[in-house]
Amino acid sequence: MEYRRMGKTGLELSVLSYGSWVTFHKQIDEAPADELMSIAYDAGINFFDNAEVYALGESEKLMGRILKNKNWDRTSYTVSSKAFFGWRGKENKPNQTGLSRKHLVEACHEALQRLQLDYLDLFLCHRPDKGVPMEEVVWTMNTLIQQGKILYWGTSEWSAAEIMEAHRVASLLHLIGPSVEQPQYNLLERDKMEAEFTNIFRTVGMGTTIWSPLASGLLSGKYNDGVPEGSRFALEGFGWLKERWMVEDKLQKVRQLAEVANELGTAQSTLAIAWCIKNPDVTTAILGATKKEQLQENLKALDVLPALTPEVMQKIDAIMQTKPRQAEY
Ligand code: NDP
């Protein structure tokens, strides 16, 4: 395993990590979740990602039970939670979502209870909240750090301007600003990581825990000839995701990627994940997996990394046609 410092912080995260969105509670329960987290941990993964909204709190409870059973040394791994969407779904009332001091503090307490932990290593604002002053968000996160309930705070799917505003406020008030952002990043979604955020990586030095490295599985090639039974796009309630990704133009590109993977003698998913972590601005790529074979295949990305020469990267760019014009690397 390779470990990278999270932006300008001292924290070292494994370049591959494991998250529970869609999978925990909805697709897999105790035994497979235990097996997958164990494979991840044994491979050197030291970061597990979660959020209050995943399976409406049940994902954190499941991860918490596994962490308790495993009894791994608490200093050997890191865990995140994210607040914004709440966990009561349609029952959410005022103050049970968003980034107010009330919700952030309560969401932190609830995540700690569900995960059965004394502190969160990372606590992220799952989306920006235009209804809450930035001073309130920064003060609250700073207070949670001072109280020892969280160690680092960050953002997810914030714009560069919003992240810079948080840093401006933190600097003005001598408080601790956000140190990590969680954006989507994969071969089909490159703009934020390679264009919009270029300056914040160089200036305030945000780390990144990137999500959906396989575009929900599309980049593995599994959807090239339709939707396999039991896969994410076949799940009830996930039609919006299928509609978003199963577009002919995208599928054509994914089919062509198979040639590059074949030439390198690797699986397409392994190649797609290796491509993500080739970008040095990625601190960690959060893997999702419902089966151990998937996780094992995805973990091989580290072995494929050295094969991604400039020639191979150019070939991939020519197929995907998604490289933003401002990209610097
Ligand atoms: P991916 O894009 O890697 O998709 C993972 C899914 O693809 C798996 O659950 C599995 O689904 C399928 N898959 C994985 N590996 C393979 C393989 N080798 N072959 C075939 N199919 C495979 O990641 P996620 O979208 O799951 O995102 C990863 C994590 O990022 C989440 O768990 C979460 O922690 C975080 N996240 C954060 C968000 C945010 O807003 N901050 C948003 C979304 C995710 P299946 O078997 O069901 O087909």
Residue 253 lies in a domain: no
Residue 242 lies in a domain: no
Amino acid, single-letter form, for residue 264: L
Residue 82 lies in a domain: yes
C-alpha 16/C-alpha 210 separation (Å) is 10
Q: Locate all alpha helices (DSSP H) within the chain, ordered by sequence.
A: 30-42, 58-70, 101-115, 134-146, 160-172, 191, 198-202, 239-245, 248-264, 268-278, 292-299, 301-304, 310-320
Other CB atoms closer than 10 Å to residue 244's CB: what's the count? 14
Check 54, 152, 185, 223 and give the catalytic one. Answer: 54
Q: Is 122 exposed, middle or buried (0-12, 13-18, 19+ CB in 10 A)?
A: buried
Residue 217 Cβ < 6 Å to ligand 1: yes
pLDDT tens sequence for the chain (329 residues): 999 999 999 999 999 999 999 999 999 999 999 999 999 999 999 999 999 999 999 999 999 999 999 999 999 999 999 999 999 999 999 999 999 999 999 999 999 999 999 999 999 999 999 999 999 999 999 999 999 999 999 999 999 999 999 999 999 999 999 999 999 999 999 999 999 999 999 999 999 999 999 999 999 999 999 999 999 999 999 999 999 999 999 999 999 999 999 999 999 999 999 999 999 999 999 999 999 999 999 999 999 999 999 999 999 999 999 999 865 55
Residue 256 lies in a domain: no
What CATH code is carried by the domain that includes residue 42? 3.20.20.100
The pLDDT value recorded for residue 173 is 98
* Range of the structural domain that residue 189 is part of: 3-216+280-290
pTM, entire model? 0.98
Residue 321 lies in a domain: no
Residue 156 Cβ < 6 Å to ligand 1: yes
Give the position, in ligand 1's atom list, of the atom nearest the Cα of 50: 34
- Do 51 and 126 contact (CB within 8 A), yes or no? yes
Residue 236 lies in a domain: no
Distance 19 CA to ligand 1 centre (A): 8
Residue 263 lies in a domain: no
Give the position, in ligand 1's atom list, of the atom nearest the Cα of 291: 46
DSSP-derived secondary structure letter, 241: H
How many independent structural domains does the chain possess?
1
The pLDDT value recorded for residue 325 is 83
Give the position, in ligand 1's atom list, of the atom nearest the Cα of 231: 48
C-alpha 222/C-alpha 217 separation (Å) is 7
SS (H, E, C) 280-291: CCCCEEEECCCC
- Do 151 and 117 contact (CB within 8 A), yes or no? no
Residue 180 lies in a domain: yes
The pLDDT value recorded for residue 328 is 53
Which pair of tokens denotes residue 131?
A: 């209804």
Whether 54 sits among the annotated catalytic residues: the reply is yes
Residue 20 Cβ < 6 Å to ligand 1: yes
